[in-house]
Structures are given as C-alpha cells and as structure tokens.
Structure 1
C-alpha cells in the first residue's frame, strides 16, 4: 500500500481547473518562490498528513456526485505533487479507474518519471515562474532546467495545458515582460488558456508565524484590472492561433 503526505484537501475548488474540483494539496516543495503564500507546504518531512492512495480516493469519491455534474474532477496541487511520484501515480491510476478527470497543478520541478505520471493526467496547470533563467533563479532560488525537462515531456506527449503566471509589481508586471511571456506561450503546443494571477499578500502572516523572512514585504498587491487586461490580450492571441 503506497502512502503519501498531503497538506490539506479542498472539497469545492472553483479556480483550479474546469468545473467544481476536489483539490488535494501535496506536502513538500523544493522551490522557494518569493511570493509563495503557502510556506507551510515546503517541508517534505515533519509536516502534513500521511495517507494511502486508496484512502485518499475514498475521500474524493464522496464528492463525485457534485463535481461530475459540473465537468469537474480532482486537481493535485501543492507544494509540488511531482516530489511524490509513486504516490501520485497510484492516485492518478485510481482516479482513471473511477472515471474521475485529473488535473496536475505543477511547476514541473520534480524527481523525473514524468512520462509515466503524465500518461494518467488529463490536464496540466503549468506554473511558469519566469521565462528567463537568471530571473527564475532569483525568484525561486532554483534553476529553470528541471521545469524545462518536464515541459519537454508534456509537449512530446501532447498533453492539454493551462498556463499560470503570477504577476508581481516590479518583477513580472512590465509590458516588455508580458509581451515576451505571450510570445513564449505561443511556442507551447496544446495550451487551452492562460491565467495571470495578481500577486497578493494573504499569506504573509504565515511567514511571521513560521519565523521565515518574507522577501517581498514592501511589495503592494498587484492591480487586478491591469492583470486582467493582459490575460485577455494573451488569451485573444491564443484563440487566433487555435483558429488558424
């Protein structure tokens, strides 16, 4: 019986893929994104709840009558689900056996084994942290290479994808950056939509409680209208590409 460690479960997720979704937050993440609002998911050991894949699917199945009517399913998020590959694969297999649509919310920063994992994934919510190597490193304190390896496998398998990108004042909000992001996204196959997420400060208190230095403490929340304008613009370009 394969066991994994999860941080929490949200039973009525509305923003993590199509329809109403059960969102399972995995414990553990190697990235240290400056804007992360869940630093309590970072630790791979000593945090979260240990559970078997069978136990987790039983919990998810309780909500199937609600999410199946909406075209929803389950989204494996985190933390980073790819850091628990065997557990993730077992969960994905059980979802497929039970006719549950699966989405994987990931930065692509795992331990490999991506092809086997993605064979059981219906949709990828791919978090693009930054498109430039040096800026990616500054933002996440890690190298971009692993994320690009994951993306290469996803492209080879032609997996459906939504792109997510956090827009942070002074870091990822310039018109030049967003134009380059748009061009970059157009080079990725099978992208169905783009979600630009405005930076917020809702998780800052967790850093104080956990006694962790918050690197963006002087940064104000991102303007939502500006973010929405660019999201609409990029999605419009995407529609034109899809229609061509």
Structure 2
C-alpha cells in the first residue's frame, strides 16, 4: 500500500470550498469530459502533470494536519476527473484513513461503476458535479453521454453515501426551466444529500483554452444575473433541498 502512482495536475492547501473545513486539495490529471465551460482544460491530457505515489501525496497533506483537524477538514481529490485514476484514489483513501484523515472525492461521476465502487464506498464524502439534468443534452455540453454519470448517481443513492451536489448555471445551456425542474426532481430523490450548491458560470479559464490551442465557444456568454441565481436558490430551498 502506498506505492500506486498517480498523475497530479496541481495541489492546493487551505481550500475552503471543496468539502467541509480546511482542505488539502489534489487536482488529479486526466479527464475524459470536454465541458464547454471547463476552466482547467490543461488538466485533460492523461500524460501531463506531476507523478506522485499515494504515500507521497498523503505525506504532503499530513504537513497541514493541524489546520485540517481543527476545522473538521481533510483531503479532497478533485480533477480533472479523479475516478479516471481509481487505483491511485483508493490507495490515497486507505493511507489517509490509517492516519486519521478523511477524504472527499469531487467527481463528475464518470467512471466504470465496477472499477470505482471501492473508491465510492471508502471515501468519506462524495461531491458530485451534475453537468445537466437532461440526459439528451449531456453529450453536447460535456462530449460524453449521461450513461456513466447516471449509473454512478444511482449507486450513490442506493449506498446512502454522504453526498454534496453542485451544478454550474450557464446562460443558454443549463438555466432553462426544463433543466432546473429535472434537476430538482433528481435532488429530492437522493436520501443522503447533505448539501446542494448552484455555481455561476465564469470565464476565468478562457485564457487556458487559448494556451492549449483550443476554441473557446462561450466567449460571448455572460455570467448569470445574481437576481436569477438568488431566485432559483430560494426555489430549491422551498422544495426542501439543503443549500
């Protein structure tokens, strides 16, 4: 245990949004999705990034254990898509648990359910990014079908794993009444949902698309109106969804 190697896009200490408390966040390299609004397209390619063993990653996180323990924080494995490296993720979780640290996985839900089941079972928290609630729109938005993310969501519902869900509101893509009502229906059917959050679209990753030689198709898209964000958040609260 501890010798499994993974590829890391970036490390962040003192994270405050990717799980409870103060987090040590590892952004893993490699992602099969091609989300139109992705702000880290440089994390897509599998062969890039820095190689680390699971033990090395946990040892790095251990340096910040005082802050994490005092705040109820821990390690968050994000991406990229962390479930693209399931053996590495599982090794990190097991070593971290031996040291008394908790681990959250921030995922789009893209993974073979059979290969990633142990990761989902042994993580302390799953943070699921639902790209769209409309299965027929999933490929246009992300480059992949909704089949695997839906299968992962169904597994999480059945296992009653503590779950946070996030959804990016992109004007013209994910802000329709149809999508929001479908999303509300999905969320009200998750018994272990602890928190839901709307994230407003932004263009902070546009320059990275240019650096990667990629066409950024949302250059003319504006951030959603704050009043609209407030209204839909209140609507979801009234539906009993934890915000």
Q: TM-score, normalised by structure 2?
A: 0.94
- The C-alpha deviation readout for 1:200-232, integer Å capped at 9, x for no partner, is 010100111111011212111222342233224
Report the Cα distance in structure 2 between the residues aligned to 1:172 and 1:178, rounded to whole angstroms.
Answer: 8
Report the Cα distance in structure 2 between the residues aligned to 1:230 and 1:70, rounded to whole angstroms.
Answer: 30
Deviation, structure 1 residue 61: 0.5
Report the Cα distance in structure 1 between the residues aligned to 2:178 and 2:155, rounded to whole angstroms.
Answer: 29
Report the Cα distance in structure 2 between the residues aligned to 1:110 and 1:187, rounded to whole angstroms.
Answer: 22
Matched, 1:11 2:30: no
Q: Which moved more, 1:148-157 or 1:3-12?
A: 148-157
Deviation, structure 1 residue 188: 1.9
SS in 1 for 2:91: helix
Could you tell me whether the CA contact under 8 Å between 1:194 and 1:234 is conserved in 2?
Answer: no
Matched, 1:30 2:7: no
Could you tell me whether the CA contact under 8 Å between 2:188 and 2:241 is conserved in 1?
Answer: no
Instruction: From the superposition, tell whether residues 232 and 17 of structure 1 become closer, same or farther in structure 2 (CA, over 3 Å).
Output: farther
| Corresponding residue number in structure 1 for 2:168 | 166
Alignment coverage as a number of residue pairs: 239
SS in 2 for 1:130: coil
Matched, 1:155 2:152: no
Please list, as runs of the form range in 1=range in 2, the aligned pairs for 1:64-213 lying within 5 A after superposition: 64-112=65-113, 113-213=115-215
| Unaligned runs of at least 5 residues, structure 2 | none
Moved over 3 A (4+): none
RMSD between aligned residues: 1.4
| Corresponding residue number in structure 1 for 2:56 | 55
Deviation, structure 1 residue 238: 2.7
Report the Cα distance in structure 1 between the residues aligned to 2:4 and 2:18, rounded to whole angstroms.
Answer: 25
Report the Cα distance in structure 2 between the residues aligned to 1:183 and 1:137, rounded to whole angstroms.
Answer: 21
Deviation, structure 1 residue 175: 3.4
Deviation, structure 1 residue 173: 1.4
Q: TM-score, normalised by structure 1?
A: 0.93
Could you tell me whether the CA contact under 8 Å between 1:193 and 1:235 is conserved in 2?
Answer: no
SS in 2 for 1:124: strand
